[in-house]
Amino acid sequence: MTAARNEPLVALRRLLPAPGELTADALVAELRPWESAPAQRPLRPHVAVNMVHTSDGRAAVHGRTGPISSLADRQLFHALRTRVDAVMVGAGTLRVERYGRMVPDAARRAQRRAAGLAPDPLAIVVSGSLDLPADLPLLQDPSSRVVIVTSSARSLAGVRAQVEYLRAEEALDLPGALAQLRSDHGVRAILCEGGPHLNASLLAHGLLDELFLTTVPVLAGATGALSIMDGAALEAPLGLSLCWMLEHEGELFARYAIGAPGERRVGAPT
Ligand SMILES: NC(=O)c1ccc[n+]([C@@H]2O[C@H](COP(=O)([O-])OP(=O)(O)OC[C@H]3O[C@@H](n4cnc5c(N)ncnc54)[C@H](OP(=O)(O)O)[C@@H]3O)[C@@H](O)[C@H]2O)c1
């Protein structure tokens, strides 16, 4: 596998569980999240969230992730997209980051096929309002299959992607949407790429299973800047279990398992 635009492949230094050096592709090759979809009914997909933040917990600088993303982080970001049925994103992120085709690199699509996955992941967009510009590159890509989870009764005009809608009558029903994505679209594993408000909604509903978190060794300051989960509050802090930790030029790449609500809460009243 080559990196995008002939960028050099970054060797990440694994600190745990077993020390060693490996690329992002080699790191994720062991991941088979589609085998970890929760067994409780209604069945829903396994959901992992992937985020980057600064050492002072900022998930964006001047409203964008670009200033805090590195080559190593981008390689992990793209490698993770090769290990899931679907990539999910909130409308706020889609509008700002202007997503295109989820896996533009043919070699990565081949990698997905080799893992028994469709060459292109399903793109899932969560938008209450359906206020999405039709000229977003993702919506103009004919090879992209997109499911929009929305409470709007409208449909988007002028899009070239294959777009379907999962509609809720009033407030958006994330648990119901995930169950429907599993039953009607065969989605067993989702990579959620934020943003912070979508993450917080999923977490508050107990719908997040894993967190991939890159910590960039910079301080960004700013008042009111977004953290990786912003919005819906939890009753008490929820503990995480560290599964791996890697390092590259001071940047840390963690993978955590997230407990179900009621489990591993820290400081909850007894
Ligand atoms: N650091 C990172 O890794 C990372 C990753 C992603 C994004 N970001 C940054 O985060 C910022 C955007 O994040 P954000 O939190 O504002 O946006 P977001 O979470 O991507 O999207 C929020 C929007 O999603 C829809 N939505 C999400 N949950 C919903 C629910 N439960 N019910 C109804 N609608 C729901 C709504 O869409 P409508 O408005 O259409 O109703 C809502 O306004 C940008 O600055 C981006 O650069 C950082």
- Which of 46, 116, 35 has the alpha carbon at shortest distance from 82? 116
215 within a domain of the structure (yes/no): no
Judge whether 220 lies within some domain.
Answer: no
State which H helix or E strand residue 21 sits in.
Answer: strand 20-22
DSSP 8-state symbol, 183: H
| Helix, strand, coil shares, percent, the chain, to 5 | 25, 25, 50
Q: What is the pLDDT of residues 12-21, one digit of tens each?
A: 999 999 999 9
Nearest CA to ligand 1 atom 10: 195
In a domain, 177, yes or no: yes
Distance CA 99, CA 102 (A): 8
- The pLDDT value given to residue 1: 42
Per-residue buried b or exposed e for 195-226, using 16+ beta carbons within 10 Å of the residue's own CB: bbbbbbbbbbebbbbbbbbbbbebebeeeebb
CATH number at residue 135: 3.40.430.10
pLDDT at 3 over 90: no
Alpha helices in the chain (DSSP H): 24-28, 71-80, 91-97, 106-114, 174-185, 196-204
Which residues approach ligand 1 with their CB closer than 6 A? 51-53, 59-60, 63-65, 90-93, 96-97, 126-129, 131, 172, 174, 193-198, 201, 226, 230
Most ligand 1 atoms within 8 A of CB, residue of 202, 226, 253 to mutate: 226
Nearest of 189, 46, 80, 190 to residue 126 by alpha carbon: 190
Q: Which of 229, 257, 254 is nearest to 244 (CA)?
A: 254
Half-sphere exposure of 124 (CA within 13 A, CB side): 29
Whether 67 is covered by a domain: the verdict is: no
Which domain does 127 fall in, by range? 85-204
Residue-wise DSSP of 229-248 = S-SSPPSS-B-EEEEEEEEE
Distance 133 CA to ligand 1 centre (A): 15
Does residue 127 form part of some domain?
Answer: yes
Residues pairing with 126 in the sheet: 90, 149
pLDDT category of residue 4 using cuts at 50, 70 and 90: low
Residue ID of nearest Cα to ligand 1 atom 17: 92
Q: Are the C-beta atoms of 70 and 76 separated by less than 8 Å?
A: no
Retrieve residue 51's tokens. 């985020």
| pLDDT value at 264 more than 80 | no
Rounded distance from Cα 155 to ligand 1 centre (Å) = 20
In this prediction, residue 6 has a pLDDT band, given cuts at 50, 70 and 90, of confident
Q: Is residue 175 part of a domain?
A: yes
Cα 48 from chain centroid? Answer: 6
- pLDDT value of residue 171: 84
- Residue whose CA lies nearest to ligand 1 atom number 40: 127
Location of structure tokens 């989605």: 187
Residue 186 and residue 86: Cα distance in Å, rounded? 10
Q: Is 42 within the bounds of a domain? A: no
Q: Is residue 236 part of a domain?
A: no
Amino acid at 260: A
Q: Is the pTM of this model over 0.85?
A: yes
Q: Which atom of ligand 1 is nearest to the CA of 130?
A: 40
Using the mean position of ligand 1's atoms as its centre, give its distance from the Cα of residue 123 in Å: 15
List the residue whose alpha carbon is closest to atom 33 of ligand 1: 128
Per-residue pLDDT band for 175 (boundaries 50, 70, 90) equals very high
Check residue 269 and give its pLDDT.
40
Residue found by looking up tokens 């800047």 in the block: 225
- Mind listing the pLDDT tens digit for each residue in 142-164? 999 999 999 999 999 999 999 99
Number of domains in the chain: 1
